[in-house]
Amino acid sequence: MGNYADVVTIGESMVLFQPYNGGGIKYAPLLSKSVGGAESNLAFGLSRLGKKVRWISRVGSDPFGELILSTIAGEGIDVSHTEKDPHEPTALYFKEATTPGDPSVYYYRRNSAASQFAREHIKPEWFEQAGHLHVTGITPALGEHTVEFMKEAMKQARAQGLTVSFDPNLRRKLWDDHTAREVLLELIPLCDIFLPGLEEAEFLLGEQSSVAHGAEFLEMGPSIVAMKLGEEGSIGFTKNGYYEEEPYKVKQVVDTVGAGDAYAAGFLSALLEEKNFLNEEKSAEILPKALKRANVTGALATQFHGDWEGAPTLQEVNQLMNDQQAVTR
Digit-coded pLDDT (tens) for 274-296 = 989 999 889 989 999 999 999 99
Query: SS3 of 149, please?
Result: helix
- How many Cα atoms within 13 Å fall on the side-chain side of residue 102? 8
Amino acid at 126: W
**Mean pLDDT across the stretch 260-274?**
95
Give residue-wise pLDDT tens across range 110-138: 999 999 999 999 999 999 999 999 999 99
Count other Cβ atoms within 10 Å, centred on residue 256. Answer: 14
Rounded CA-CA distance 321/326 in Å is 11
pLDDT at 231: 87
Query: Phi, psi (5° rounding) for residue 14?
Result: -125, 160
Rounded CA-CA distance 169/55 in Å is 18
**Mean pLDDT across the stretch 197-223?**
96
**Mean pLDDT across the stretch 189-211?**
96
Cβ–Cβ under 8 Å, residues 276 and 224: no
Q: What percent of the chain has pLDDT over 70?
A: 97
Residues 6+ apart with CB under 8 A from 316: none
CA distances from 224 to 74, 215, 267 (A): 32, 10, 11
Cβ–Cβ under 8 Å, residues 37 and 14: yes
Rounded CA-CA distance 297/283 in Å is 20
The yes-or-no answer on residue 261 being catalytic is yes
Burial of 123 per CB tally in 10 Å (0-12, 13-18, 19+): exposed
DSSP-assigned beta bridge partners for residue 194: 166, 225
Catalytically annotated residue among 85, 261, 307, 323: 261
pLDDT at 327: 55
As a whole number, the mean pLDDT across the chain is 93
pLDDT at 34: 94
**Mean pLDDT across the stretch 192-217?**
96
Positive or negative, the Cα torsion across 5, 6, 12, 16? negative
Instruction: Grade residue 323 by pLDDT with cuts at 50, 70 and 90.
Output: confident
Predicted TM-score (pTM) of this structure: 0.94
Task: Say whether pLDDT at 145 is over 70.
Answer: yes
Give residue-wise pLDDT tens across range 228-245: 998 899 999 999 999 999
Domains of the chain, first to last: 5-12+37-88+117-318 (3.40.1190.20)
Burial of 285 per CB tally in 10 Å (0-12, 13-18, 19+): middle
Instruction: Grade residue 79 by pLDDT with cuts at 50, 70 and 90.
Output: very high
